[in-house]
Amino acid sequence: MQDPQAVWNRMMKDMRDAESPVTVLHAYRKAGKLSNRAMVGTLMRLKKLKEWKKLAEIIGWLKHQNWWTSSELDFNLQMVAYAKIGEPEKVKKTLKNMKKAGFQPNVASYTSLIEAYGNKGLLYEAEMVLNQMLEEGPKPTVLTYQTMIGAFIKGEKYEDADRIYKSMEVDNIVQPDQRLCNLMIYSYGKRGLIEEAFHLSRKMKASNIPLSIVTFNTLISCQPSLEASENVFRQMQRNDIEPDVVTYAARIGAFAKARQVEEAEYFFRVMIASGIRPNRTVYNVLMDAFANCKMVTKAEALLKEMKLNKCSPDVHTYSTLMNAYVNASDMEKAERVIQRMEGSDIEPNVVTYGTLIKGYADQGDLESMVKKYEEMTEKKMKINHAVFTTMLQAFGKYESLDRAKDWFQEVVRAGFKPDIRAQNTLLGLSEPLYRREEILEFLENVS
């Protein structure tokens, strides 16, 4: 008789390789190798692995199997899965089917609907569900508010996130917990509202909500200066909280931003000595420090160390290495990085090409700059604001204002919407001053 665990492990592997998990489950059930208990274990494992599409498909299939009795948990789990992949209509349909099956949707059910709308980008539809819960029930929980506020933050609707949080506090609907407070601190940090972030951390302490490693990491990462981030780190130590890999990434990043490369590398070594294994983010942060200071030898050595430690470099890693060569004015080696990426099955992105474009622009090599732009567009990559502004400035500096205007108009006609920085760049090129009025009129007509 085969070991049930071995059979289940093989089934999970077969599901990973199959186009549809249902075909595998059907075959194993037909062969008498899939018990109800094993099915429950499968659902829980897929949830842990965040295999949401597979989970939703399997639960939908199970509802039509006479050997399986669907429970309230099945409906809620399917709604969670649909929510994670941003399928609000399917969550609503599951809610309807749940009621038909005799189960009453609970707060988790409606929270899933809010999450589904949020992940779809339908933020105000999500808020309508929250308002419905407030008026008709079930009463939202702190997780409901975290889901709603998180959706607004993800959509960069920060004022709406603030509004929901304040209404929750004023109406005393639920008490914020550690995770919700950390989310709001992150939101304040993203906007540079440092005092608001600190104020909320003080309120947490006054309300006996523990300050966690996440709280301090978030505070460290949003500080405007190295000194400020180090002050937060010392406060963390006074609270007897041990730093983790995210803490070190933030500290290394702070030193890198201040161009104190030796200190950044020192704390990288301290992290390793303390038994914390650096992840890709940490390597990339240190790589960025080396790149900004033109330390190509150290950048190459770090890439080698990264591979030896079985941490796979990504497109960001190679783009940063390329930036090191660009900053060192070695465009030949910068170009070779693309070949190295392709040899590692890593596709260059718009940042990669933007780095090369900037390198050629800085050297006044407009022919090579345009060639790289054409390569980028041939690969169906969309221009971003950084690339657009770099090329605009180069055309104005090395050719003429008229050439810059033509470029501006050409890209706008292709559907690109320049930001205020690009418009200011074009205005900055309008010398002599009598052409400034001409450029202002041009920008008004183009927009």
Residue type at position 217 = N
- Is 263 inside any structural domain? yes
User: In the chain, how many domains are there?
Assistant: 1
Do the Cβ atoms of 272 and 248 come closer than 8 Å?
no
Do the Cβ atoms of 405 and 442 come closer than 8 Å?
yes
Q: From the CB of residue 197, how many other CB atoms can be counted at a distance below 10 Å?
A: 24
Residues 6+ apart with CB under 8 A from 348: 315, 318, 319, 338, 341, 342
Mean pLDDT of 422-438: 80
- Is 280 inside any structural domain? yes
- Is 432 inside any structural domain? no
User: Among residues 175, 185, 239, 187, which one has the least CA distance to residue 211?
Assistant: 239
Domain containing residue 315: 247-328
Per-residue pLDDT band at 439 (split at 50, 70, 90): confident
- Is 292 inside any structural domain? yes
Question: What's this model's pTM, rounded to 2 decimal places?
Answer: 0.82
Instruction: Give the pLDDT score at 447.
Output: 67
Q: Is the pLDDT of residue 430 over 80?
A: no
- Is 27 inside any structural domain? no
- Is 398 inside any structural domain? no
Instruction: Give the pLDDT score at 1.
Output: 60
The model's pLDDT over 231-255, given as tens digits with 9 standing for 90+, comes to 999 999 999 999 999 999 999 999 9
pLDDT above 90 as % of the chain: 88
Find the CATH number of the domain harbouring 316. Answer: 1.25.40.10
- Is 323 inside any structural domain? yes
Tokens for 362, please give them. Answer: 């800085």
The model's pLDDT over 215-224, given as tens digits with 9 standing for 90+, comes to 999 999 999 9
The model's pLDDT over 331-370, given as tens digits with 9 standing for 90+, comes to 999 999 999 999 999 999 999 999 999 999 999 999 999 9
Mean pLDDT of 95-118: 97
Instruction: Give the pLDDT score at 165.
Output: 98
- Is 151 inside any structural domain? no
